[in-house]
Amino acid sequence: MAMPLTLRRSRALPATTRDDAVISLRGVSKWFGSNVILKDVTFDVPRGKITAILGPSGTGKSVLLKNIIGLLHPDEGEVLVDGEAIGSMSERDLFRVRRKFGVLFQDGALFGSMTLYENIAFPLREHTRTGERDIRAIVHRNAELVGLVDHLGKLPGEVSGGMKKRAGLARAMVLDPEIVLFDEPDSGLDPVRVAYLDELVVTAQRETGATFFIIPHNIPSVMRTADHLGLLFRSRLIRFGPKDAMCASDDPVIRQFLSGTTEGPIGMDEMADGGDGTRPAAGRDTTTLDRSGSAPFLTGGTTSRS
């Protein structure tokens, strides 16, 4: 029997491990040809919290996220998930680790010919042997969480941008992942819909206890959702820490970015902001995404719901 969502998803951790790292980056550098995208990036993503990574456009946030799930591989350094270095893993172990993730990619789209119901059910059908009755119950619980129960019969083309995002969120969470990664879930939405989506993200995180790793599109969203922040600029992680400490920082890049002004080191030229040097090596790019915005193995969770 499928357990009730709230029970199944509650992951109350002992106090001693509540703040431990679920994802650790150790000296991660990534370059494409002569273009240095990430340089010596080190930080720990605290378990069971919402972490946001910020940075100017083109600075490498999506590349960072793809390194975390092993769609791209660092040229130097390593990524650890639950203490396991994913770079040196066998395919089988990588598959096991990737099952911990639910992902909503920046360019992730719903299947246009499938109803919202079928879109949300898709990972369950693909990766589990869950029976129709349980699929129905799980899809409805997730749809309830994102306020889409009355729209499950609609096609993506028949609903608003905000509803599509919410359906993407429900799909990313349907396999009960331990870690949820969102790349700009708020892009293309008006400020009020963004505020609702943010509330949803916070509620979903609190209810599931999962670790949320978000690349937000705007500062109000950061303030509403994030527990911890990191800021990327010119390939480097300027700083990573609790939101309050980041907001109180004197660092001119952090101050400028969080206040969204033109006064400071961040200029108008994205190319100049994006990188800071050259490297003579070629990066490995193994990115292959399906139209759901997630490779099938990325949705994580358990094999059986029944």
Chain residues binding ligand ATP by CB under 6 A are 32, 37, 55, 57-63, 106, 274, 285, 287
Q: Which region among 54-62, 86-94, 173-181, 228-236 touches Mg ion (by CB under 5 A)? A: 54-62
Closest distance to ligand ATP from the beta carbon of 168 (Å) = 16
Cα 50 to Cα 165: distance, rounded to the nearest angstrom = 18
Minimum distance of Mg ion from residue 227's CB (angstroms) = 21
Q: Which of 24, 29, 62, 115 binds Mg ion (CB under 5 A)?
A: 62
d(CA 116, CA 77) in angstroms, rounded, equals 40
Q: From the list Mg ion, ligand ATP, none, pick the one residue 274 interacts with, judged by a Cβ distance below 5 to 8 Å according to partner type.
A: ligand ATP
Give residue 235's identity as a one-letter amino acid code.
Answer: S
Q: Minimal distance in Å, beta carbon 62 to Mg ion? A: 3
In the complex with Mg ion, which residue's Cβ is closer, 61 or 228? 61
294 binds, among Mg ion, ligand ATP, none (CB under 5 to 8 A by kind): none
What's the first-to-final CA gap in the chain, in angstroms? 5
**Nearer residue to ligand ATP within complex by CB, 63 or 152:** 63
Q: How far is the CB of 57 from ligand ATP (least distance, A)?
A: 4
Contact assessment for residue 175 and residue 128, using Cβ atoms and an 8 Å cutoff: yes
| Residue (143 or 253) nearer to ligand ATP, CB | 253
Closer by beta carbon to Mg ion, 53 or else 135: 53
Residue of minimal Cβ distance to Mg ion: 62
Give min distance, CB of 213 to ligand ATP, in A. Answer: 13
Give the binding-site size for Mg ion (rule: CB under 5 A). Answer: 3
**Closest approach of ligand ATP to the CB of residue 290, in Å:** 16
